Amino acid sequence: MQLDDFDLNAQRPSGNGGQSRLLWASDEHIPSHLAAALEALDRTADPVSPRSLSLELGARVSPVVLVPVDESTAEWLFPVVRDLPELVRVLVAPDGGTAIAIDILNQCGAFGIALLERSESELVAVIDRALAHAEGQARARQTVLELKSALDRVRNQVTAVEQHVVAARASVDVDSLLWDQVHLVERIEDEANRLARYGTPFGVAGVKVRRDPHRFDKAVAEVLADFVRRVDVCARRGAGDFVLVCPSTDDAGMRRVGERLRDALGAAGLANVDLGIATVAFGKGRFRSDDVLLRLEGVLERAQSGVLHEVAD
């Protein structure tokens, strides 16, 4: 028996006129009892059973190869089976070649079963197990692909978070861990644009340490970090110079912010420190960030004791 005796790419028509799901060797080399069993298997194959997996795995080849094995075929059959790594190998050994078939399968490291003369029901059960194994392997490969895809998504999310952290660090004042001047200006521009476009009010508050700012700088920064809401922005412009941006806060709201800010600084033991505290409410009009900061600076200069509040118009 030579390699040419086997057509490993041919598909035998089934008894019901469809395409066989089994890959056949040349007909003359298939024992009659095995051929009859395979014909019956093809006729009764349920489309949703594991046997139909061959169609789902690809139209090019079936996951089951049925060939007879004896000593004369062993020499050339080994490379044939070895070169078909995607197939489930089922070797038929009707002529006492069971040991040869098992040896070939072991050498290839492939999943396979040596079939002796079996009844039709036994043959169906064995092939079902082979195809169920192939189906399990296919599901495992799909699971691996899904896990790889999920891992890629997680990596992308981690990269985005890392980029966000890097960007945030670039806008943080290293001495106080509050926002810096650059981020402060960006947020004021955002709130000024919202005011101009939608009429949404906002306000700014300033705290300035007039004497010995380096001594009290850290203490004031800690109070402000605990004081602000999550939507607020608290920035340090320099030693003893702090600004709060309060989105969606009107005139009355900014007055309350100033009073609460004064109380918080006093409760932290800073009541006797020479501080300027000022608030400015912006409820209408168009402003730029430098206009807002200049307005706040002017109010801070005039603030003597308590809190000086002003409404920008």
pLDDT tens profile 148-205: 888 888 888 888 777 776 666 667 888 888 999 989 999 999 999 999 999 999 999 9
pLDDT classification of 224: cutoffs 50, 70, 90: very high
Token pair 């990269």 in the structure block, residue: 159
Distance between CA 313 and CA 144 in Å, rounded? 63
Instruction: Identify how many contiguous H helices and E strands the chain contains and give both numbers.
Output: 9, 10
**pTM of the shown model:** 0.49
Residue 259 has pLDDT above 80, yes or no: yes
Output the CA–CA distances (angstroms, integers) from residue 56 to 130, 145, 149, 265, in the order listed: 15, 17, 22, 72
Q: Which amino acid is at 312?
A: A
Phi/psi at 45 (5° precision): -65, 125
Counting Cα atoms < 13 Å in the Cβ hemisphere of 9 gives: 3
Fold observed for domain 181-312: Alpha-Beta Plaits (3.30.70)
pLDDT classification of 18: cutoffs 50, 70, 90: very low
Distance between CA 242 and CA 16 in Å, rounded? 86
pLDDT on residue 84? 47
Counting Cα atoms < 13 Å in the Cβ hemisphere of 193 gives: 6
pLDDT on residue 162? 76
Residue 40 has pLDDT above 80, yes or no: no
Instruction: Tell me which DSSP letter residue 287 carries.
Output: -
Averaged pLDDT for residues 259-277:
91
Phi/psi at 179 (5° precision): -70, 155
Averaged pLDDT for residues 78-83:
55
Domain with CATH 3.40.50.2300 in the chain: 3-143
* CATH H superfamily, domain 3-143: Response regulator (3.40.50.2300)
Domain with CATH 3.30.70.270 in the chain: 181-312
pLDDT classification of 49: cutoffs 50, 70, 90: very low
